[in-house]
């Protein structure tokens, strides 16, 4: 069974902020594949269904970002996915706004949620989908920046397109593995159509 975890902070005040990219992408998967997120389990809101012919659990940890690993470890123990079937989606300040990257494994980079997951799982050999949020202006504290929403309609649209792309890339990963996800992201639909 695939386990797709979107990282974010619970609560209204954090909705649609830069740090809640993972929640927004998993919400899109929930809607697109009719997998309601209703169950409270393993310190997360979860839902189970089918994507690309595979059984999938979607999860939104409710632990706050820096403690995401507490929920992910419990989810892994509950659903028992193989490590290549655990996919984590989150924000990345080192990528431009709305840019999506897939990696089959690796370090946490600057992301505290991922750092906590890797620390508590004791391994980093699981795939992740990152959506870029850009870097904060020089004068701004990183913590304030990632907890902000998007300032302009154009930026909101750019980010939403990134969320859609990440959700599609996750479905491609579930359908055909790492190569399928990479191939999809190297030539995404809107670039193919010249939009």
Query: Are the C-beta atoms of 170 and 29 separated by less than 8 Å?
Result: yes
Q: Please state the separation of Cα 39 from the chain's center in Å.
A: 19
Q: Let me know if 139 is a catalytic residue.
A: no
**d(C-alpha 86, C-alpha 102), whole Å:** 13
186 C-beta neighbours (distance < 10 Å), count: 9
Tokens 């890339």, residue located:
169
26 C-beta neighbours (distance < 10 Å), count: 27
Determine which one of 16, 19, 111, 139 is catalytic: 19
SS (H, E, C) 167-186: HHHHHHHHHHHHHHHHHHHH
Among all residues, which ones are annotated catalytic?
Answer: 19
């Amino acid at each position: 069974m695939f386990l797709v975890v979107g990282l974010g902070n619970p609560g209204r005040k954090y909705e649609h902020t830069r740090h809640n990219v993972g929640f927004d992408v998993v919400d899109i998967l929930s809607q697109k594949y009719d997998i309601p997120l209703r169950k409270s389990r393993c310190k997360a809101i979860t839902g189970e269904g089918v994507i690309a012919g595979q059984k999938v659990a979607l999860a939104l940890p409710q632990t706050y970002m820096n403690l995401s690993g507490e929920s992910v470890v419990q989810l892994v123990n509950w659903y028992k996915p193989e490590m290549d079937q655990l996919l984590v989606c989150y924000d990345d300040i080192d990528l431009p706004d709305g840019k999506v990257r897939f990696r089959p494994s690796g370090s946490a980079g600057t992301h505290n949620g991922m750092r906590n997951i890797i620390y508590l799982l004791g391994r980093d050999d699981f795939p992740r989908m990152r959506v870029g949020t850009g870097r904060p202006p020089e004068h701004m504290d990183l913590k304030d920046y990632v907890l902000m929403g998007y300032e302009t309609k154009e930026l909101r649209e750019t980010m939403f397109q990134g969320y859609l792309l990440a959700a599609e890339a996750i479905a491609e990963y579930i359908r055909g593995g790492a190569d399928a996800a990479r191939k999809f992201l190297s030539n995404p639909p809107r670039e193919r159509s010249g939009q």
